[in-house]
Amino acid sequence: MLRIIAPDTILKLGDLVRVRIELRSDRDMEFLHMKDLRASGFEPVNVLSQYKWQGGLGYYESTKDASTNFFFDKLQKGVYVFEYDLRVNNSGDFSNGITTIQSMYAPEFSSHSKGSRVLVSE
């Protein structure tokens, strides 16, 4: 069952959470790095790094200890959606990290999301 996690949603140990990132670009860009930081109470389901194709966009997805990274050679103007799954493995009150995107050769082109809190009960 898929449901949107509202700010007052309480998760339980073992829950499967799908992270959804919506990226909107108002111009064509090249050589971008997007980093999605993960709350410490979650573990990624897919830990293999790999090149992926989605909707005409090719990118490299790399899972690290505290983040999932996306690398783009070219990003055309438009709206893109990226999803990956996490498993809840610790209880507590966690700060979910922000998502940042930045041009690797022109760092003045960057953006970030807002952070949020996630509550996990036993």
pLDDT given for residue 4 in this prediction: 67
How many other CB atoms sit within 10 Å of the CB of residue 41? 21
Domain definitions of the chain by residue range:
12-109
Residues 95, 24: contact at Cβ < 8 Å? no
- pLDDT mean over 47-59: 93
Q: What is the pLDDT of residues 54-92, one digit of tens each?
A: 888 999 999 999 999 999 999 999 999 999 999 999 999
pLDDT for residue 120 is more than 70: yes
Rounded Cα–Cα distance for residues 65 and 88 (Å): 15
Residues 122, 46: contact at Cβ < 8 Å? no
Domain spanning 12-109: which CATH class is it, in words? mainly beta
Q: Is 65 exposed, middle or buried (0-12, 13-18, 19+ CB in 10 A)?
A: exposed
Sequence-separated (6 or more) residues with CB below 8 Å from residue 31? 72, 73, 103, 104, 105
pLDDT given for residue 21 in this prediction: 93
pLDDT band, residue 32 (cuts 50/70/90): very high
pTM of the predicted model, to two decimals?
A: 0.90
